[in-house]
Amino acid sequence: MAIATVNPATGETLATFKSLTGQEIEAKLRGAVTAFALNRGRSLDDRAARMLRAAAILEERAADYGRMITLEMGKPVGASVAEVKKCALVCRYYAENAGRFLADEHITTNAQESYVRYEPLGPVLAVMPWNFPFWQVFRFAAPALMAGNVGLLKHSSNVPQSAMAIEQVLRDAGFDHDEFQTLLISSDQVAALLDDDRIKAATLTGGEGAGASVASSAGRNIKKTVLELGGSDPFIVMPSADLSEAVAVAVKARVINNGQSCIAAKRFIVHESIAPQFEKRFVEAMRALRIGDPLDEQTEIGPLATPQIVDDLEKQVHASIDAGARLLTGGHRVAGTKGNFYEPTVLADIPAGAPVRLEETFGPVAALYRVKDIDEAIAVANETTFGLGSSVWTRDSSEIRRFAAEIEAGQVFVNAMVASDPRLPFGGVKRSGFGRELGEHGIREFVNVKTVYVEKRA
């Protein structure tokens, strides 16, 4: 099977790579086992020094890697460069804090001494997506390597150059050859890896289907998994909100990464007293976005990553309109282009059962809802099967408390756009997955939480 980089702005194939053979995969697994025996014995200071070098390399090469990301998956180049720089932040965060997160915790019991140790598990398989091809990987790799594990990366098949660049960054930073390895393989080869006893755990960021497949294989083999899956995040605006700021952030939150983000706001739930004003300003701002070459610094919306994503989005929009949704702007592919461009789109009056009400939309498509009060806002926010992030806009303290307590999501951001932060745990509930990345919780996902109980010392 050939793995290729295809420029989503032009359809041009830029590079092709051969998938690994069975013998090559076996060699990488053997190398991972050997590397784990070495890495788990290294001091945290040694690991931290390497991770800090990785941060410096990412910053030095940010412009080059940013351009590569854009050519592989189409996001505006400024966002690609910012993504690489954010990876440097997560490397520094864990280099500086892993010692505190993994230190023995002494607990008072009836024993003479009792404490909890945090020990690495071994080789961890990471199945990662294309939409943030550097960030998604480093937010796994930084804590996993700092904890003493080793990583095997099965990246999305349309970003092979990003996958290999990440491996090179870590090697150049001083990590051994087999401490972090890229596997250029197909999705069909993942199950066999999960069946292999040398793989001790797995993490996946992606769609529900892929998550269910990995979780099923890992569960059959009794292996720990972390899943970050889809999202249909609500963006709720109440009467006390700063409407101008809410509209500006709403547009940014919907079209970040060309709309291809699990934590992008997708459903805009607005109190009826301010809904006409919000709708007018929001539609005007979406319509005014500049679509074009993602390598142009002035471009705000680039192409979607693959032709299939455009096809799927188009079907969701048209089926929703056929079901009774009202089209306010957009709703079509961008005419006269060779790339995967889709117009920023806004739908309203979305009936029950319409695809955009039930499914995740992975592109610049926004769904508007009007609600009469906070009870209805919370009910609409919670009606999906997803529960990843949520953004609420209000200056009412009682409303803030209710939203924080009652929205079914892994994250509630108040008067701010949902974002991942190395310092805070990140993940979802319901069909958005389980487990957490980032923060103190993230580094403890792939460790053995070992209780040590000493009744008497020798």
Tell me how long the chain is: 458
Kindly state the tokens that stand for 134.
């550097």
- Catalytic hit among 91, 167, 179, 262: 262
Phi, psi of 297 (to 5 degrees): -60, -20
262 as an active site residue: the answer is yes
- Catalytic hit among 72, 83, 179, 228: 228
Q: What is the 3-state secondary structure (H, E, C) of 207-245?
A: CHHHHHHHHHHHHHCCCEEEEECCCCEEEEECCCCCHHH
d(C-alpha 281, C-alpha 294), whole Å: 25
Coil vs helix vs strand at 381: helix
Q: Tell me the residue type at 48.
A: A
Query: Which residues lie below 8 Å from residue 393, measured CB to CB, with a gap of 6+?
Result: 235, 236, 237, 238, 241, 242, 246, 414, 415
Orientation of helix 77-102 relative to helix 62-73, angle to 10°: 110
Orientation of helix 62-73 relative to helix 160-172, angle to 10°: 160
59 as an active site residue: the answer is no
Kindly state the tokens that stand for 198.
């040398």
Express the helix, strand and coil content of the chain in percent, nearest 5 each.
40, 20, 35
Contact present, 187 and 210 (Cβ < 8 Å): yes
Active-site residues, by number, are 228, 262
